Chains A and B, each alone.
Chain A
Amino acid sequence: MLNCIDNSGAAIVECVAVMKKRGMRPTASIGDRIIVVVQKQRSFGQEGPGGGSLSIANKVKRGDIRHAVVVRAHKEQQRKDGSYVKFDDNACVLINKSGDPIGTRLTSVVGAELRDKKWSKILSLAPLHV
């Protein structure tokens, strides 16, 4: 279960597969592409529970299967200079099949490892990267 930090309409998603990783239990870290199922939708203020406006605002719905990129990980990750970075939660950003983010804005900090993995579009949307 990961937080989704963009405005695509998903709030909490569940990871069902990690792409381009092999093994008994492949693990994803920052910058890895995963496949997720949307578990909870984000509600937008007052018109949140109302059906019509919600479906327009939300680009994804509960139960959708989407691709995503991990942008924060709770597991500490070593950088090339020997320092470690760790976040308090796991978070991702939904993308489409070609790799462009579905949302247009990110709400919180992302890891700088995205730069090494060529996710510059997500980095440019992010308010802060560490």
Chain B
Amino acid sequence: MAQALPFRSATCCCRRAVKFAWSLPAQKRSMLSLHAGPVERLDFPPQLPEQYWSQLPKRMRPDQVKREIKIHENPPSEWKTCKEPVKLIDQQQMAILDPTGARARLFDPKNPDGAKAGDIILATFKTGEPFSGVAMSIKWRGPHTSVLLRNQLTRVGTEMDIKVFSPLVQSMEVAQKAAKRPRRARLYFLRKPKHDMGSVQKIVDGYLRQRAILTGGSPGGAKRQQGGVRGGVRGGTRRR
């Protein structure tokens, strides 16, 4: 009996406390409120023994020093050493492909005697047979300069776009200049039947004959070329 009384009084106190708590108007009851308030930051104890260091985060360990951030210098500017690399490489390539500069002079747009659109051009190759035709267009692109030749072979229009500075091209000659300066840079209208020049074989053969007479000394070479140009019929059969 002696124990019952304090129990009852305790429950009574508890009930009253709860009632009191509920009666409080604005106060919120939450677990957070227990821990609210500024937390004071504690310093680590001085001379913390080394065996406890592993429990600390790395950045807080006493032996931690600030990482040094290395600042690299900018790499040297390529642009300052070589301002126009494409031009440089073009020059190097031209020096290899056209050491004498004769081909470049022939296809120089400023050269009045150079090859122009409308001229009849004869190109001979180191491999294969020569090709001649009217220059329909010349594309000036440095070492990639090309000329579009059109001819009629066995009455079939044939066009060939030849790279002027290709190492396979043995020679490029103007067989006949255009009678009148064309007013266009690209003579694509020559494809139309109305303007088609037909075969230029006769003109080229005449030019080769004249050249053989003028040079005199080398009729054999010219003759061989001529034969090759004229047919390919003969050249082809001979090869086979």
Contact = CB atoms under 8 A, between A and B. Distances in A.
Q: Is the A/B pair a real complex?
A: yes
Interface of A: 72, 76, 81-89, 91, 107-109, 112, 124, 126-130
Interface in B126-185: 128-129, 131, 146, 153-163, 166, 168
22 contacts: A81-B163, A82-B166, A83-B146, A83-B160, A83-B162, A84-B160, A85-B158, A85-B160, A85-B161, A86-B160, A86-B161, A87-B156, A87-B158, A88-B156, A88-B157, A88-B158, A91-B156, A108-B154, A108-B155, A109-B158, A127-B154, A130-B129
A9 B233 CA distance: 23
B154 A83 contact: no
A82 B236 contact: no
Contacts of B231: 128
Contacts of B154: 107-109, 127-128
Chain A binding surface SS class: loop
Given A83-B166, A109-B153, A130 B161 contact: no
Nearest to A88: B157
B232 interface: yes
Nearest to B157: A88
Interface of B: 128-129, 131, 146, 153-163, 166, 168, 191, 231-233, 236, 240
Given A128-B231, A129-B232, A86 B158 contact: yes
Given A89-B156, A107-B154, A128-B231, A81 B161 contact: no
A85 B233 CA distance: 19
Given A88-B156, A130-B158, 17 more contacts: A82-B163, A83-B163, A83-B166, A84-B161, A85-B158, A85-B159, A86-B158, A88-B191, A89-B156, A108-B155, A109-B158, A112-B128, A126-B236, A127-B233, A128-B154, A128-B236, A130-B131
